[in-house]
Homo-oligomer: A and B are copies of this chain.
Amino acid sequence: MSKLTPEMLGYVAGFLTTVSFVPQVLQVYRTRTTQGVSTGMLVIFGLGLIAWLWYGVWIDSPPVIVTNSVTLALVSLVLVAKWRWP
């Protein structure tokens, strides 16, 4: 068994915070209900992800680029749902 390294833990953390938006996307598209989801949260979180992406490109960090791109795509889908079914 390999030992846990900080880098591995960072990947696990990034994986979890990214995939967490998958059940959120599935739920809003299945139920067409976005009541309770804050538009402000989605917009500010999306802007934060764009800043993280820019940061990842700047410091040339593939994990930061990849995880934040995927999360941004998922959050955008939730924002579209919020606009269609407010």
Contacts and interface: CB of A to CB of B under 8 A. Distances in A.
Bin the interface of chain A by size.
35 or more
Contact of A9 (B12, B40, B58): B58
A47 interface: yes
B6 A24 contact: no
A80 interface: no
Given A12-B51, A13-B51, A59-B6, A28 B36 contact: yes
Interface string A21-42: 1011011100101111111111
8 A-B pairs with the lowest CB-CB distances in the bound complex, closest first = A16-B48, A23-B40, A17-B48, A13-B51, A20-B44, A20-B45, A24-B41, A24-B38
9 contacts: A9-B55, A13-B48, A13-B49, A13-B55, A16-B47, A17-B52, A19-B44, A20-B42, A37-B37
